[in-house]
Structure 1
Amino acid sequence: MYYQNFYMPQKKVIDVPSLSKGGPYSHAVIYDNLVFISGMTGQDPEKDLSFEEQFKNAIEKIAKVLEQASSSLDKVLKVTVYLSDPQYFNKMNELFKYYFPNNPPARTTIVCRFVNDKIKVEIDVVAGI
């Protein structure tokens, strides 16, 4: 039997010390040339932020994790956006165009309920490295 030497990608965990986590998970996992980022929210426990502020905060967190993973927002391939209310859909589209102006990534948008009622949006992404 003949066996070739195959490249076996390794899983690498990324955690950003300045970002909090809500449970036992990694901020991101790199596998081969892809980085999978856990859902990021943008709420502030001290104050009630607008949808726009939460979206911006979530994207900024994602950008920090991408930087740790040697990637960036322009390498994002797939985005899943979770909205607490369908009324945010049009505003989310505007913000999405702002952060992904050229060749936007694939996207799925889901309206759902969050455990924390202050959360208005959560975003997870898959990006290339």
Structure 2
Amino acid sequence: MKNSILLILAIPLAFGSCQQPKAEHISYIASKEFKKSNLPFSEMVIVGNLMYLSGQIGSSPKNPMVLVDGGMKNEARQALENIKTLLENNGSSMENVVKCTVMLADINEWSDFNAEYIKYFPENKPARSAFATNGLALNARVEIECIAVLK
């Protein structure tokens, strides 16, 4: 009898623990300047405390459809500045970047890219993947996408 009562009391507990976890809130982020470009993606998506940044190229902050002049080093610097600004404007910083994926138009510019990259990550270096590709947006030399944690 005791076992039957315990079983009856345990059933609601068992089914209650099988509920689906609540979905995290998702925020789609796009600055005013970015929205003007009418691109088919967000600059960043925040899920819980993770920030997923779309690939950033060395485009002007005032006009995302125009690259800065000067080749790889200037484009890399501007792409990293764009990442830094996006993070800082949304509650994080470069110190909270945990993963970067780097796409290079020419793998021979690897060292020029790294010369700029290490300035932005002097201490805690994020995990990173990199590869050469062709056909980056606006004929960019580099594109960088990152994942960061909210502060």
* Superposed pair shares fold, TM > 0.5: yes
1:41 offset after TM fit, Å? Answer: 0.6
**CA–CA distance in structure 2, aligned partners of residues 5 and 128 of structure 1:** 25
Change (3 A) 1:74 1:46: closer
1:47 offset after TM fit, Å? Answer: 6.5
What number of residue pairs does the alignment pair up? 129
Q: Which residue in the other structure is 2:16 paired with?
A: 2
Contact 2:45 2:53 in 1 (8 A): yes
| Structure exhibiting the larger radius of gyration computed from Cα positions | 2
Structure 2 unaligned segments of length 5 or more: list them.
Answer: 1-14, 61-65
Which has a greater percent of strand?
1
Structure 1 unaligned segments of length 5 or more: list them.
Answer: none
1:87 offset after TM fit, Å? Answer: 1.1
Per-residue deviation, residues 42-67 of structure 1 (Å, max 9, x unmatched): 14647642211001111111112112
Q: Which residue in the other structure is 2:41 paired with?
A: 25
**Which has the bigger relative contact order, CA under 8 A and spacing at least 6?**
1
**CA–CA distance in structure 1, aligned partners of residues 110 and 137 of structure 2:** 20
After superposition, where does 1:58-77 map in structure 2 within 5 Å? 58-77=79-98
Contact 2:67 2:140 in 1 (8 A): no
Contact 2:68 2:78 in 1 (8 A): no
Identity %: 29
Per-residue deviation, residues 78-112 of structure 1 (Å, max 9, x unmatched): 00111000111112222221110002000011100
Aligned residue type for 1:76? V
TM-score by length of 2: 0.75
Which has a greater percent of helix?
2
1:96 aligns with 2:150: no
Per-residue deviation, residues 10-53 of structure 1 (Å, max 9, x unmatched): 10111122346572100000001100000011146476422110
